[in-house]
Amino acid sequence: MEGPFSRSPVLDPINITVVGGAGIVGREFLKILDERQLPVGRLRLLATSRSAGKQVEFRGNTITIEETTEGSFDGKDDIVFLSASGSASKLYAPIAAEKGALVIDDSSAFRMDETVPLVIPEINAADLAWHQGIISQPNCTTTPMALALFPIHQVNPLKRIVVATYQAVAGAGAAAIEGLKTETAAALEGRHEPSGTQKKEIAFNAVPQVDDFSDDGYTKEELKMANETRKIFHAPELAISATCVRIPAMFGHSAAIWAEFERPIDPRAARTLIDQTEAVTVIDDPEHERYPTPLDAAGNDQVFVGRIRQDLSNPGGLTLWAVTDSIRKGAATNVAQLIEECDSRGLIKRKG
C-alpha cells in the first residue's frame, strides 16, 4: 500500500516491509508503529500463501497481505522486518539486503553470525555501526534478563548466571494462545484434549521443554539465552546455565535469576542501579507483597524486576525475578526501537 502514514514531524517517512505480517508479532508491530508515531511511507505486509489476500487496517488504510517470494523485494524498501521462521530468514534476508534494505531479523538465523550485530538498543546500540545489511534481535527470554542485569554488569562484571524461565504460550504464536484456551475449556470439564501447540498438554501444567533438545541435554531455547547474552555483553567467557519452562499464561515471560559478580554487591545497591535503567521498572516491596507478575507485563514495554535479594547459597551473589511481554519488548517493540536508533545514527538509506 502506497501512502503517507506519517504522524510525526521528527523523522522522514520510512518504507517498511514486514515478512510475517499476519503473525502475532507482525500485528503487534503495527500497533507499536502507531503508538510510537513512527512515520511510515510505503508499508507492505508479506506472509505465507495461506495468509495472502487477508486485509489489515493501518492508520485508516487497508493493506492486503501478499505472499512472500524471492521476487517480493523490489529495492524500494528502507526496512525489511523479518518475523518468520529461521529458514525463511535465511532465504529472504540476504535478498532484501542485496536490494538495499536494512534487514531486522527476529529469528535465530543470524544471531550468532559474527558478521551480524545482535542488539538490544539500551545495551549495545553501538554495535549497529558494523552491520552489513542485516541486524538481529535476541530471543524474547534473553532481552529481559540482559536488561535486568546489565546495569550491574557495567560497574561490577558478571561471572555466572543461573536462570529458570516461566514462559507464556504467546511466545509460540497465535495458535498456541488458542490451544491454551481450548485445552483449558476441556480440562475444566474433566477432559484431556492436547491441542498439539506445545510439546505436552499445557493447560494447568508446566512443560520443561521450549524448542528441541540438543545433544548436551539443553534445549535450543536454553542455549540461545546463554550464547546471545555473551554476545550482547561482549563477555564470551561468561558462565550461564538456563532451564526454560512453558506455563499456562497467555502473555508475559518470567525468569528467576541467580547472578554472581566479580565483587559482592548489596541488594540495595543493586536495586538502585537496576531502577535507574529507562527500560526497567522495579516493583520490589516484600513487606506489602508487591512484586511483578506476567499480568503486570502484558501489553507493556517495560521489563519489571522484583524480589531482589542476596543469594543465600552464595553471599556475594543476587537473586531476582524479572517479567516482560515477550511479544512487545521481547520482539516487536525492540524492532521499533532498533529502527529509531538506526535512523538517529544515519544508518537507514531512504529510497524516497
Is the pLDDT assigned to residue 147 strictly greater than 90? Answer: yes
| Residue 37 C-beta-side C-alpha neighbours within 13 Å | 5
Q: Confirm if 89 and 113 have CB atoms less than 8 A apart.
A: no
Is the pLDDT assigned to residue 209 strictly greater than 90? Answer: yes
Instruction: Give the pLDDT of residue 351.
Output: 81
Average pLDDT, rounded, for the chain: 94
Is the pLDDT assigned to residue 4 strictly greater than 50? Answer: no
Task: Give the sign of the dihedral formed by CA 242, CA 296, CA 265, CA 229.
Answer: positive
Q: Which amino acid is at 197?
A: T
The answer for residues whose C-beta is within 8 angstroms of residue 63's C-beta and 6 or more apart is 1, 43, 44, 45, 55, 56, 57
Angle between helices 267-275 and 142-153 (to 10 degrees): 110
Can you tell me the mean pLDDT for 130-154?
A: 97
Question: Catalytic site residue 153?
Answer: no
Backbone angle region of 289, left / alpha / beta, with phi > 0 → left and psi within -120 to 50 → alpha: left
Task: For residue 211, give the DSSP letter.
Answer: S
Looking at domain 142-168+206-326, which of 3.30.590.10, 3.40.50.970, 3.30.360.10, 3.40.430.10 is its CATH number?
Answer: 3.30.360.10
Can you tell me the mean pLDDT for 256-285?
A: 95
Identical fold, 14-139+331-344 and 142-168+206-326: no
Q: Confidence class of residue 3 from pLDDT cuts 50, 70 and 90?
A: very low
**Global confidence as pTM:** 0.93
Task: For residue 171, give the DSSP letter.
Answer: G
Catalytic residue among 131, 153, 253, 342: 253
Instruction: Give the pLDDT of residue 190.
Output: 96
The answer for residues whose C-beta is within 8 angstroms of residue 34's C-beta and 6 or more apart is 7, 58, 59
Beta bridge mates, 305:
282, 322
Question: Catalytic site residue 253?
Answer: yes
Task: For residue 213, give the DSSP letter.
Answer: B
Task: Please report, for the chain, the start and end positions of each structural domain, with discontinuous segments joined by +.
Answer: 14-139+331-344, 142-168+206-326
The angle formed by the CA atoms of residues 175, 178 and 184, to the nearest 5 degrees, is 140
Is the pLDDT assigned to residue 11 strictly greater than 70? Answer: no
Catalytic residue among 140, 153, 244, 342: 140
Q: Which fold has domain 14-139+331-344?
A: Rossmann fold (3.40.50)
- The residue to which cell 531479523 is assigned: 105
